[in-house]
Amino acid sequence: MSGVLSAAEWAVIGLSLKVSLVAVLASLPLAYALAWLIARRRFPGRMLLDAAVHLPLVLPPVVTGWLLLLAFGRNGPIGHWLQQAFGVSLVFTWLGAALAAAVMALPLMVRAMRLSIEAVDRKLVEAARTLGASPLRAFATITLPLSLPGIAAGAMLGFARSLGEFGATITFAANIEGQTRTLPLAIYTGLQVPGSEGAVARLAIMAIVLSLGALMVSEWLVRRSGGSRAHVL
Amino acid sequence: MSFEVRLGLQLGEAEVFAEFSSDARLTALVGPSGAGKTSVLNAIAGLLHPREGRVVAAGQVLFDSAQRIDLAPEARRAGYVFQDGRLFPHMSVRANLAYGERLAPASERWITRDEVAGLLDIGDLLDRRTANLSGGEVRRVAIARALLAAPRFLLLDEPTASLDAARAEALLGLIERIRDAMDVPILLVSHSRAEVERLAGQVVEMA
């Protein structure tokens, strides 16, 4: 297999997987919390929050990347604070690429999770409450397990979206080999260099394989958790 | 006093008022569809919040707008048997039964799982998935789940609705046994005159 791709190409794929995995795992709790808030709570500003979460879906990714640069750049308020407090800089690092991917994946994750939370019958939560469960326990024993298919589907969708992230990443984290040059950026770079058609084709095929794999795993997870619901406890 | 209820509920455009007190072991709440009988049960269980009033069940003040008392549902200890059962679909029958039992203080339990299983004839259902239960089985498991949570009072919402005559008869016998053997006041919502006459020590009409 190592003969098919060069070491540099494998490194690109490894970096892409790392960036996407960290992006999804780190944003999962936030995505679920946002999904729950939008699905279950009525508060002033809910529409605004919903719109803000969905913004990266419709904004030009370059704009999202630029906004990230303003907030998380060395002179941005959050970036400055991170630098002061932890000595961490996100711009031009793989963590920055993960942040860009997470922001771009968030709307898809929240959407999938929100739908599955809305599908959980509130009457079951009420029943749990009358049986002595606190709101937190009712959430943990009823809402959370019944919305697992949405969490799995959202995570895989977010992972696939992160793998393909380009515009916000190149704007915010730049295109640095070994740091932020993920699969799409490597393909883009290859297209700029005459004579690298072969490398571009190989990376493109890997992108298709990985994305297809993520979608299939997502589908499988949904089916599995749907089919075995009754066995969870 | 079994129940002392005086409440005004705002349900969208509609308003529901209820006022009654009862010392009977089993009190029936009757009235036409849409009179708000289930809403009254929901308010007693703490799932709906009255605009004003006072709710006392089994000697405990659950709600009193004047004293600003409004206990959370989990603190009210209602054994609420919903009309639609509301069994947890991701749990086995056994796990459904254990749900409230685990949360009830051991010292307050007044019935064991074996006793409940015998009383409601659900021993064979324990390992079944709730999706595969019949309507009558769902009702029995729902009652068992409520009893095991060591409730201080029971709220039964149309327990025999949509059951065939034989099943309904068996369930009525069971409610009679619970009424006579257990020291928990019962509030029953029913459409059936015969059922109410047979079970209730006091009847409350809602207009």
> What would the two tokens of residue B4 be?
């002392």
Q: What ranges do the domains of chain A cover?
A: 7-228
Q: How far apart are CA A32 and CA A110, in angstroms?
A: 6
Inter-chain CB proximity B89 and A142 less than 8 Å? no
**Would you say B54 and B7 are in contact if contact means Cβ atoms under 8 Å apart?**
yes
Inter-chain CB proximity B89 and A229 less than 8 Å? yes
- Closest Cα in chain A, distance from residue B108 (Å): 13
How many CA atoms lie within 13 Å of A25's alpha carbon, on the beta-carbon side? 7
pLDDT (tens digit per residue) in B143-178: 999 999 999 999 999 998 877 888 888 889 989 988
Query: What is the mean pLDDT of the segment spanning B114-120?
Result: 85
Q: How far apart are CA B5 and CA B10, in angstroms?
A: 16
pLDDT (tens digit per residue) in A62-104: 999 999 999 999 889 999 999 999 988 898 899 999 999 999 9
The percentage of residues in chain B with a pLDDT greater than 70, rounded to a whole number, is 100
Query: What is the mean pLDDT of the segment spanning A160-164?
Result: 93
Strands (E), chain A: none
- What pLDDT sits at residue A233? 27
- Closest Cα in chain A, distance from residue B42 (Å): 10
- What pLDDT sits at residue B118? 83
Fold topology of A7-228:
MetI-like fold (1.10.3720)
pLDDT at B186 over 60: yes
Q: How far apart are CA A18 and CA A16, in angstroms?
A: 5
- What pLDDT sits at residue A229? 41
* SS3 label, residue B192: coil
List, as one string, the DSSP characters of A63-105: HHHHHHHHHHSTTSHHHHHHHHHH----TTSHHHHHHHHHHHH
pLDDT (tens digit per residue) in B3-21: 999 999 998 888 999 999 9
Query: What is the mean pLDDT of the segment spanning A196-218?
Result: 90
Q: How far apart are CA A6 and CA B165, in angstroms?
A: 76
Inter-chain CB proximity B88 and A132 less than 8 Å? no
What are the respective helix, strand and coil percentages of chain B, to the nearest 5?
40, 25, 35
How many CA atoms lie within 13 Å of B46's alpha carbon, on the beta-carbon side? 29
pLDDT at A230 over 60: no
A170 C-beta neighbours (distance < 10 Å), count: 22
Report the chain A residue with the minimal C-alpha distance to residue B146.
A131
Inter-chain CB proximity B131 and A126 less than 8 Å? no
CA distances from residue B27 to A69, A125, B3, B4, B120 in whole angstroms, order as listed = 67, 27, 8, 11, 22
Q: Which residues of B112-121 are buried (b: 16+ CB within 10 A; e: fewer)?
A: ebeebbebbe
* Chain A residues with CB-CB distance to B131 below 8 A: 230
Backbone φ, ψ for residue B81 (5° rounding) = -100, 105
Query: What is the mean pLDDT of the segment spanning B115-135?
Result: 88
Q: Please report the sign of the dihedral spanned by the C-alpha atoms of residue A130, residue A133, residue A135, residue A140.
A: negative
Q: How far apart are CA B15 and CA A116, in angstroms?
A: 33
B72 close contact with A: CB closer than 8 A: yes
Query: What is the mean pLDDT of the segment spanning B119-130?
Result: 88
B86 C-beta neighbours (distance < 10 Å), count: 23
Report the chain B residue with the minimal C-alpha distance to residue A225.
B90
Inter-chain CB proximity B74 and A133 less than 8 Å? yes
- What pLDDT sits at residue A15? 96
- Closest Cα in chain B, distance from residue A73 (Å): 46
* SS3 label, residue B22: strand
CA B17 vs. chain centroid, Å, equals: 20
Inter-chain CB proximity A123 and B73 less than 8 Å? no
- What pLDDT sits at residue A227? 44
* Chain B residues with CB-CB distance to A145 below 8 A: 90
